[in-house]
């Protein structure tokens, strides 16, 4: 059994973009309730997510972006940054916790206190670009975490793996051309954010999937297109943008993965991490909007991380 950290914070429940919005606080409640119901909660070490520092955020975001978000934070009500992305008075704090969770996860893993970590946080992050918030995302949590491993812990090579139904345009924007980072991703296309159909740099492996793609084809793509590049790269740490909205029950997209597919891909990545990265994995929640499918998929994912 691996020692797995579970990192979250109650502030992440307070960010609310309106009763209509699919990226809702109930997502985190569904995850924790399911883990308790399945008796899995006893197997993890629990940690409160700290606030990210400006120094940590500025490794991947511009100072102007941070200042704009801080100024936009309302005292009352909800302020829309775009039609999909909005802030209430708790959003700034929640976003700082979500980014800080990944930083803590890196520190816990690289200090040897845990082998891997899962961050159950919101708002998600992989659409946030260096200079802009979008797609429900404010800070790029996975990029902040990976940059922390490179800058504060002097790692030479890290891999980012993104299997969300949407292309992680923000993470690509943060690391495009950075030869210390290999990013591999699958996503539905054509679909929001309508990017990623061409790999813009040698360190990006983008695999667009047509609507209706099922687990069998997803597994083929992972085996044939992801894993050879990852093994060639020999990352010292793996970062997973764990979006579960490619599940067939999730109406946000049109892919047809099951929780068994998430368990399988997690197993492939864990085997890679065990072989070349001392088992080091940090996984951070991205999408997933069907509450039942999300909860089951997260449980399948972290069962494999913890070797349960």
Residues belonging to the active site: 127
Smallest Cα–Cα separation from 201: which of 187, 218, 188, 184? 184
> Dihedral of the CA atoms 122, 30, 238, 116 (nearest 10)?
110
Q: Report the number of secondary-structure helices (H) and strands (E) in the chain.
A: 10, 10
How do 79-82 and 85-87 pair as beta strands?
Answer: antiparallel
C-alpha 153/C-alpha 151 separation (Å) is 6
Alpha helices, DSSP H, located in 199-290: 215-221, 227-233, 259-276
Residue 256 to residue 149: CA distance in whole angstroms: 33
Secondary structure, 3-state, 144-160: HHHHHHHHHCCCCCEEE
Q: Is the dihedral of CA 230, 231, 233, 234 positive or negative?
A: positive
Q: Give helix 91-110 / helix 63-72 axis angle, nearest 10°.
A: 140
């Amino acid at each position: 059994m691996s020692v797995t950290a579970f990192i979250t914070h109650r502030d992440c429940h307070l960010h609310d973009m309106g009763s209509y919005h699919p990226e809702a606080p109930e997502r985190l409640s569904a995850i924790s309730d399911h883990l308790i119901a399945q008796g899995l909660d006893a197997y993890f070490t629990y940690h409160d997510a700290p606030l990210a520092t400006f120094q940590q955020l500025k490794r991947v975001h511009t100072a102007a972006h941070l200042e704009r978000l801080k100024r936009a934070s309302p005292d009352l009500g909800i302020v829309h940054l775009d039609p999909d992305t909005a802030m209430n008075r708790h959003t700034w704090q929640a976003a700082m916790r979500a980014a800080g969770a990944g930083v803590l996860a890196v520190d816990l893993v690289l200090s040897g206190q845990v082998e891997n970590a899962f961050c159950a946080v919101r708002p998600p992050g992989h659409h946030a670009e260096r200079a802009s918030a979008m797609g429900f995302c404010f800070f790029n949590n996975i990029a902040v975490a990976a940059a922390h491993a490179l800058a504060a812990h002097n790692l030479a090579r890290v891999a980012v793996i993104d299997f969300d139904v949407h292309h992680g345009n923000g993470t690509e924007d943060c690391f495009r051309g950075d030869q210390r980072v290999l990013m591999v991703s699958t996503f539905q296309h054509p679909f929001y954010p309508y990017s990623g159909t061409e790999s813009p740099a040698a360190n990006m492996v983008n695999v667009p999937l047509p609507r209706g793609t099922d687990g069998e084809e997803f597994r083929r793509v992972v085996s044939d297109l992801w894993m050879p590049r990852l093994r060639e790269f020999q990352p010292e740490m793996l970062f997973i943008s764990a979006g579960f909205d490619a599940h067939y029950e999730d109406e946000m997209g049109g892919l047809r993965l099951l929780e068994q597919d998430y368990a399988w891909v997690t197993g492939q990545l864990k085997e890679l991490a065990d072989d070349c990265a001392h088992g080091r994995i940090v996984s951070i929640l991205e999408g997933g909007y069907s509450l039942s499918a999300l909860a089951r998929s997260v449980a399948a994912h972290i069962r494999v991380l913890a070797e349960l």
